[in-house]
Amino acid sequence: MMRSKRSLLLLVLATAFVFSCAGSKNTVGGGLWSTLGGVTGVSALSSNFARNLAADAVATQALGSSGIDAAKKGLYNSIAKAGGYGPEKGTDLLSVLKSKKLDAPAVNAVGASLTKAGTDSGLKADQMTALKGLWDPMAMTLSK
């Protein structure tokens, strides 16, 4: 009887450890990956982002249609990377945007499109904060 209690306790401890590891990817964007529901939610946010970029004249002129598609995939990859997952669809958002040599109005247009995508996707305050935390360092790098 004592042996089965010990086995049960070990099983409970192992299960608790596994669940605690699953939540350990809550870095700036990592929390966003998990709270959006992984692939499905991040893909939806990325699609909204691309739609908003395409609707913004400044962003469209700066990126072009292939750049918008690359930015969509780049956002997905940036969130995945921040969540501790490998990129599935090419490079990250910063790399995509750096290659376009954006001016200040274009950087602002991309940021506004990203914020609108978060709003359109119904992100909560903590998710918007995580999205902003992902974008702000990129915007600073692009503005240099």
Residue 5 counted as domain residue? no
Q: Looking up tokens 């240099």, which residue turns up?
A: 144
Domain residues for 121?
26-143
Alpha-carbon span 124 to 139, nearest angstrom: 22
Average pLDDT taken over every residue of the chain: 84
| Number of domain units in the chain | 1
Residue 70 counted as domain residue? yes
Residue 18 pLDDT > 90: no
pLDDT one-digit tens code per residue, 49-105: 999 999 999 999 999 999 999 999 999 999 998 888 877 667 899 999 999 999 999
Q: CATH number of the domain that 115 lies in?
A: 1.10.490.10
Residue 9 counted as domain residue? no
Residue 10 counted as domain residue? no
Q: Is residue 15 classed exposed, middle or buried when 0-12, 13-18 and 19+ CB atoms within 10 A define those classes?
A: exposed
pLDDT for residue 144? 82
Residue 103 counted as domain residue? yes
Residue 41 counted as domain residue? yes
